Amino acid sequence: MNKFNKFYNNISEYYSNNIITNFSPSNGYRYRCEFGYYNNFYLMHKNDKKIYLETFENAASCIQELMPKILNQININQSVKEKLFQINFRSNVNDDVIVSLIYHKKIDKNLIEIIKDISKYLKINFILRSKNFSYSTESNYFVDYIHNDAFKIYQTDNCFFQPNKFILPKMINTVISLINNPKDLLELYCGVGTFTLPLSKVFIKILATENDRNSIKCLNKAIIDNNINNISNSRLSSNEVAELFMGKIFRRMGDINLSDYNFSHVLVDPPRSGLDDKTLGIIKNFKNIIYISCNPETYIDNIRSLKNHNVKYVELFDQFPNTNHLEIISLLSAK
């Protein structure tokens, strides 16, 4: 049974309408790729086997083109390849690329100068990382544009960003299409603001929460640069948000007051582990739940717990074709 039929069977108890499935091209779709470095090659693991690569067909074309060029620059210089163990790539809608080189050694001035020269030669930004150290040849922030270039958004080289360049715009449009009679929005796991920023044009006010410091810094930068004045955010985990609703005071909330909001919707985009009991206990009190999931199994477990809500809409997104991964966007409304 393929992943789609498996999901259709599992969701049938809660949702019987036809489900739209958005498919991705089978290659050239990844904005974001991470590789080991070993024996002068990029390294991936599959089924406990090592796979050595010079390029990667699933990567965006601009990354594919750069991979052998960067590999050559690394392999011809002993200082660059010594104790290098990971190479990460990110690209954007303009085909700009940022490359992170991660080391098991102290990064010295000699290595920095060599990387600066390679950066000028290839015309890309490099970030060097080792324990408690980071150096960028240009900026620590990577700029992208979303929702038909309506919003400027920022990433760092180590924060989460949706990886499929073809699927992401469809996901944003689907989330927006699910919203009726919007008032204020509570968003958990907001990341760098991939959904927060476009939704600022839909809701009166947004309270966005996220536990990752770098993501919150990126979101704050985007709020300023996009001249948005109806998004407030706080660095809180989903558990802490649950505690906040139960009356606990967090200094990280600053002057944000829950009583100033009239929430019509909550949006959750949890990791593969799904929503824990504390978080489920809070969101079940919302009339409308927009649930974005990257794990069909934990998604089904969670909606099973939301007994006072009906699944009103489900749409699927095949972010990683030819794998078992599947992304879900759904709307649940109180009975």
Catalytic (active-site) positions: 294, 327
Alpha-helical segments (H) within the chain: 3-11, 61-75, 78-81, 109-122, 168-177, 196-199, 213-225, 238-245, 277-283, 296-305
d(CA 185, CA 183): 7
- The string over 168-185, giving b where at least 16 C-beta atoms fall within 10 Å of a residue's C-beta and e elsewhere, is bebbbebbeebbeeeebb
Per DSSP, what are the bridge partners of residue 126?
99
In whole angstroms, give the CA distance from residue 62 to residue 321. 20
Nearest to 204 by CA among 226, 220, 227, 228: 228
Other residues' Cβ atoms within 10 Å of the Cβ of residue 193: 30
Two tokens, residue 239: 């558990």
Can you tell me the distance from the alpha carbon of 333 to that of 203, in angstroms, rounded to the nearest whole number?
17
Buried b (16+ CB within 10 A) or exposed e, 282-317: bbbebebbbbbbbbbebbbebbeebeebebebbbbb
| CB 17, CB 312: distance < 8 Å | no
